[in-house]
Structure 1
């Protein structure tokens, strides 16, 4: 059975597609078979990222390890069972078709609540939720008082993850390993950054997720997207020497992969 990784939250701009692409590419470079699905059927940022990679590598005549991007199958109404949702069927059919040929299936969710995203969360063996280091994004997980020190209640997204966990438990499946990734961190030590660290740490104990380090804010990530490249590809495309920022970013990726604790995966790349 393939291990299903879902990258999701309900807010755009948190770095879901960047995390998805770098994680998928890192796993392929380590020799794992990785299939990828983009459930944002309108924006398709992750899908565009992989397609940009295909086009760049073909034009440059390069052969670099890449995830296998797959599309949700089209189905007809007569293929549905009575009361079955079309999106449920499309996603379950896609996953069923990929399981035998994949070690990992990575699913990138849209930055909003959709039926596809809801179903994907219930399929997750590992759920990764990138979070900008801001209380605007923290509100995705839980609500706080004006001091940002006291948690007053869960958010709708946390409740959706809770429901997904309940569905998996009822089906006799293993619990979701939920990891919140603090992303786009600033280099400076600031009061807000320390408050966020305390708030995320306290909430992790209350609703049951792990906290992992993500990526600092770096220009390089914006520059890589048009060519579909990742930090791991720079030396392969002719960059003779990585600068300090690139070396630090690669180390951040290693730390993230290590923290995820995926089956049969090390951070040796």
Structure 2
């Protein structure tokens, strides 16, 4: 059985264009958001780099495609193009091994053109169930615009007060939260703009990525601070992906933890990584296709 089967239960064959009909994959006639023809938009956003944002975004996109959902992906980081390069590498692997793998439709924005951004965004959300957007690890006007379009906004962060400072400030003695930081205020503004535009709400999720596999006093302090801030500004906290060498090794081939049969022999670290991915997908609480994400 391949990795998709191990993670999500049996899946149907998916072609590389990811262009199956709703009837073919068992999806309802409504989009994943519950509204006819409306894609559920998942935006991965953090103005700090090095948080595993792109790797996590790719894994979420592939996991959804592996369950038969129609998925598109949009890379807004025209300089690094980590998501775009990941899918380019995956396309090369598909050609090399001669076997179909779950593959979203994907584009990379040029970082300059507003009309092109709007056109590509509208085009990608047409006739799909999910759109996964990866944003640059810096301040970017298109990232701010994408945040306002999000149904689920995911902010990955490492377990450190350096990363926490992006969303909140703490007292240096007590480690109690003193106030939200600029990024929390930016998300608050995006939520207000979205509510004013169409009455929708944005589910903000803070993803604790690259957790070390040891319990430390600093981790507990960061966890306590996140809990305090979550109550004040309204986000959910979920576990993400651990700090594992395997994720860096998968990039050149464009593979993910879904594609376990293409790794060769699997060790305990691979099994643990798949379990992390399973738990993260469950905690994201995304709308499910008629075919459930979890068997």
TM-score, structure 1 as length reference: 0.91
| Deviation of the 1:46 alpha carbon | 1.0
| Deviation of the 1:87 alpha carbon | 4.3
Q: What is the distance in 1 between the residues matched to 2:115 and 2:263?
A: 44
* Aligned position for 2:264: 239
* Aligned position for 2:64: 27
| Deviation of the 1:154 alpha carbon | 1.6
The answer on whether the counterparts of 2:84 and 2:108 sit within 8 Å (CA) in structure 1 is no
Alignment of 1:77-88 (within 5 A): 87-88=113-114
Query: For the aligned residues, what is the CA RMSD?
Result: 1.7
Gaps of 5+ in 1: 75-85
* Aligned position for 1:205: 231
Alignment of 1:121-132 (within 5 A): 121-132=147-158
* Aligned position for 1:100: 126
Give the secondary structure class of the aligned counterpart of 2:219.
helix
Alignment of 1:182-193 (within 5 A): 182-193=208-219
Matched, 1:14 2:51: yes
Q: What is the distance in 2 between the residues matched to 1:104 and 1:257?
A: 14
Give the secondary structure class of the aligned counterpart of 1:171.
helix
| Deviation of the 1:60 alpha carbon | 2.2
The answer on whether the counterparts of 1:88 and 1:119 sit within 8 Å (CA) in structure 2 is no
Q: 1:166 aligns with which of 156, 171, 192?
A: 192
Q: 2:255 aligns with which of 220, 224, 229?
A: 229
Q: What is the distance in 1 between the residues matched to 2:116 and 2:148?
A: 15
* Aligned position for 2:285: 261
Give the secondary structure class of the aligned counterpart of 1:185.
coil
Alignment of 1:49-64 (within 5 A): 49-64=86-101
For residues 175-227 of structure 1, the C-alpha deviation after alignment (integer angstroms, 9 at most, x for no partner) is 10010000100111110011111111111111000011111111101100111
Q: 1:70 aligns with which of 89, 95, 107?
A: 107
TM-score, structure 2 as length reference: 0.83
The answer on whether the counterparts of 2:211 and 2:243 sit within 8 Å (CA) in structure 1 is yes
The answer on whether the counterparts of 2:77 and 2:108 sit within 8 Å (CA) in structure 1 is no
Gaps of 5+ in 2: 1-37
Q: What is the distance in 1 between the residues matched to 2:220 and 2:177?
A: 16
Provide the aligned length of Structure 1 versus Structure 2.
Answer: 256
* Aligned position for 1:149: 175
For residues 105-129 of structure 1, the C-alpha deviation after alignment (integer angstroms, 9 at most, x for no partner) is 1100000011111100000000011
Matched, 1:42 2:100: no
The answer on whether the counterparts of 2:52 and 2:156 sit within 8 Å (CA) in structure 1 is yes
Structure 1 119/14 Cα, relative in aligned 2: closer, same or farther at 3 Å? same
Q: What is the distance in 2 between the residues matched to 1:147 and 1:252?
A: 33
Q: What is the distance in 2 between the residues matched to 1:228 and 1:257?
A: 20
| Deviation of the 1:88 alpha carbon | 3.9
Stretches (4+) displaced over 2 A: 71-74, 86-92
Give the secondary structure class of the aligned counterpart of 1:232.
coil
* Aligned position for 1:83: none
Q: 1:135 aligns with which of 133, 150, 161?
A: 161
| Deviation of the 1:249 alpha carbon | 0.8
| Deviation of the 1:99 alpha carbon | 2.2
Q: What is the distance in 2 between the residues matched to 1:157 and 1:67?
A: 29
Give the secondary structure class of the aligned counterpart of 1:195.
helix
